[in-house]
Every structure is written in C-alpha cells, then in structure tokens.
Structure 1
Amino acid sequence: MCNGIALVTGGAGFIGLHLVEALVARGCRVRVLDNLSSGRRERLPKGRAVELLVGDLRDPLTLRRATRGVEVVFHQAALRSVPRSIEDPFSYHDVNATGNTSATPRASGSPRASGGPSPRSSPRAESPSHRPATDQPRR
C-alpha cells in the first residue's frame, strides 16, 4: 500500500489524524486534504512524509490536485454535529454525501478508496421498540 501516495481526506480531524499517524509510522507518504474547519494543521506529523492541501473535496480542481499520483484514498472528511445537521440538513448532505461520492475511486482517478468508520458486522435484527430522539410531538 505504501508504494505511492496515500490521500487522507479529513486528515487533520480526529479519526483522519490517527490514520495519518499510522500510515506515516508504516513509512507511507501521505497527502492530507482538509478544509481545517475542525482539524488543526499543527496536529499533523512534522516532516516530509506529510503534505497538507487546504481545500474542499467537493471542488473538482482541488480534488484533481489532491489525487494526482495517489495510490489509495482514505475518505474521512465529514461534518459531524447532529444538532447542526438538523438545523442545516442540506449543507450536511452536500458535504457528507456529495463529498463522499466525489472522493470515490472513479471520481478521483485513484485505483482504490476506503471510507469509514464502519461496523465489523451487519446487524442481525432490529429492535422492535421505537425510541424517538425527542419528546416533542410531530407536526
């Protein structure tokens, strides 16, 4: 996996940063694409193994630049606030769904892509009881 460059979208955020650190520890060259809306530049490992591109993965030119010469894409970029997603569902869908689709191998030109996190196994059954997220009545 470390023959080329690994791209980590959202690589300055919580999960992405841990992935970047693990890849660097394995001797990989890593390119991070992050808009720094919640991630921090200073948290990234120092040195020549990590390249930071600040930008939005929904922008085709930014994505093309970020994926140039990349062997694998690890897509970790997302907006993550439930209250804000309720207040502004269209922005969250645009970033989390459209952005995710943009980072796929076909769109990015990378031969492989990985998104996450995901469960280790599929659920076997759903709970029959419904628990509303709020006590407020429906309108």
Structure 2
Amino acid sequence: MSTTPNVLFVCVHNAGRSQMAAAFLVYLAGDRIEVRSAGSAPAESVNPAAVQAMAEVGIDISRQSPKILTPDAVESSDVVITMGCGDTCPVFPGVSYRDWTLDDPAGQGVDAVRPIRDEIRARVEALIAELLPE
C-alpha cells in the first residue's frame, strides 16, 4: 500500500451509496486517504434523497456527478469496495476487494435513505480505523 491509501467505491449507478461513502471518507479522513467513486452504468445525476440525507449531516454532495468505472481506476486502488449492487470489477493482484451489502436508495425517499447513510458512515469509520491505525 502506498503512503496514502487509495479507496474506490463502486456501485452500478454511482448515484447514491458510493457517493455517500466517498463523501464520508473525504469528510472524516481529509487528505489522509485518496477517495474515488464510480459505476458500471452511471446515472445522469446523484440521487436527490442521498443529497438531502447527506445535507442533514452537513455534507454537500449536490455538485458531485456519477462517473464511469474504468479498469485503471480499479488497478490504481489499494481497496475497492462494491456497495452490494452486484457490480463486478476487474481483478488485479495486490488490490483488496470488499463488498458492503447495503439497501439500494434508488427511488426511495429521504426517510428510507437515512438508515443507509448511517450504516455507510459506521462502515467508513471502521475502514478509516483499519487503514490509518493510530
């Protein structure tokens, strides 16, 4: 692993779970971890309920946009986390792959997205503790 760990969050549409996870990692770890997110079939825009749920905890993801998943993004990552969407990533030696099984916020209201957001935050906090041991 490089001096600064590099994490890639992957979800099919890159519009909800992966965007929230990336935002929490940036918010909580700052520049101590490089963060990216992408999807195999990116949506047109980030899920408005995800934007609202994150705004409630003081994190603005309204200007984020879904991005396409590339083999280069996977290969240059230390940790690749899929968000329970059944996405498959190219496999490269030396990359740690994880799958976080999370409910899909697509088409859900903010009330349904809040518990997903809170679960993502807890998992991101555990990831930070693992990647940046004190």
TM-score range, shorter chain: 0.3 to 0.5
Q: Normalized against structure 1, the TM-score is what?
A: 0.45
Q: Which has the higher contact order (CA 8 A, sep 6+)?
A: 2
* Structure exhibiting the larger radius of gyration computed from Cα positions: 1
- Judging by fraction of residues, say which structure has more strand: 1
Query: By percentage of residues, which structure has more helix?
Result: 2
